[in-house]
Structure 1
């Protein structure tokens, strides 16, 4: 049932959008081109931020700063019952999903995906968000400078995701 649904969902959505455009007497292709142009402008606007984030994560990993910060945070993580192995993933996940995935794969090689640490890391990756990446990209693209309660709220949600991943796999 699910396999059939997954095969038909995308063609159904595309057909629905086209049918809705025809019924609404919209110039469908022109609207598509306008959307593509707008998307390309957005990509051009956020590209410098994206390059800066990717470069910063690479520098932090290569310089050994991540290991130093992990050592500093390991004591507090131990008090919170967070395995030391999850600290680097937790920190990097705030900024970059791809870098955190690389750390996750390293953790899988070392401990295995079915280990408690591997399962906790998997749940952590799926229950947390790249907070600073999302904020910089989304707010940067619309020129929002004051985020008010967004950062604290997002960090609280991330902490809840971390706690849930440790508790669920514990």
Structure 2
């Protein structure tokens, strides 16, 4: 079984890369021209979302450099410690909706410091998989299509991050506690 899965993982992407142009050719689609048109559209989309990404990155940097992140963490650490959750994991609940790279770097640091099999390492890994980079997703996708009023998207996204964070910590306490 493992040999079959390994075979699929080795050949899946080359087969797809070969199949798509061949299929397009049989349907008489101008393959190269279609590729160039798609690349042109993708490039213009990437250029159009740059201001949104820069704004988000500046806001995150200001939030961290101003000490606001540390202040919020200091407020909630006694509460989560009382519930049996290590305070070291708390910054992930704030960082993860803001920045995927920052939260991954923080998770990596926690795992290097405490180990992957520690409660902190397990909680950090579970939180990483149970939440999303909500503000990044909203910035990129809404910026790409020009949506100015996200209505409930931000509220629902952040609510789902809070639920995912709490559920990840609770499940880790139940399973590994």
- Which of 122, 133, 137 is the equivalent residue of 1:134? 137
Matches of 1:46 and 1:82, distance apart in 2:
38
Match of 1:167 in 2: 170
Q: Is the 8 A contact 2:114 2:120 kept in 1?
A: yes
My pick for the range that moved more, 133-142 or 148-157, is 148-157
- 35-44 vs 101-110, greater mean Cα deviation: 101-110
C-alpha displacement of 1:52: 2.4
For structure 1, list consecutive stretches of 5 or more residues without a partner in the other structure.
Answer: none
Please give the root-mean-square deviation of Cα atoms over the aligned residues, in Å.
Answer: 1.9
> What is the distance in 2 between the residues matched to 1:20 and 1:163?
47
Q: Please say if residues 57 and 99 of structure 1, whose CA atoms lie closer than 8 Å, have aligned partners that are also in contact.
A: no
Q: Can you list the C-alpha shifts for 1:7-40, whole angstroms capped at 9, x where unaligned? A: 1111122222112211221101101001111111
Contact 2:93–2:162 (Cα < 8 Å) also in 1: no
In structure 2, distance between residues paired with 1:127 and 1:30: 40
**C-alpha deviation, 1:76, in angstroms:** 4.6
The unaligned stretches of length 5 or more in structure 2 are none
Aligned to 2:37: 34
* Aligned residue in 2 for 1:109: 112
SS in 2 for 1:94: helix
Partner SS for 1:148: coil
Q: Deviations over 1:49-80 (max 9, x none)?
A: 21222233233333322111111233454566
Choose which of 96, 99, 103 in structure 2 pairs with 1:100: 103
Q: Is the 8 A contact 2:63 2:69 kept in 1?
A: yes
Q: Secondary structure at the match of 1:60?
A: helix
- Normalising by structure 2, we get a TM-score of 0.86
The change in CA–CA distance for 1:19 and 1:99 in structure 2 (over 3 A counts) is: same
**Aligned equivalents of 2:96 and 2:162: distance in 1?**
12
Secondary structure of the 2:98 match is coil
SS at match of 2:127: helix
TM-score (norm 1): 0.89
Shift of 1:88: 0.9
Secondary structure, aligned partner of 1:120? helix
Q: Which aligned runs of 4 or more in structure 1 are off by greater than 6 angstroms?
A: none
Sort the Cα spacing of 1:63 and 1:28 in 2 relative to 1 into closer, same or farther, 3 A.
Answer: same
Q: Measure how far apart 1:43 and its partner are.
A: 0.9
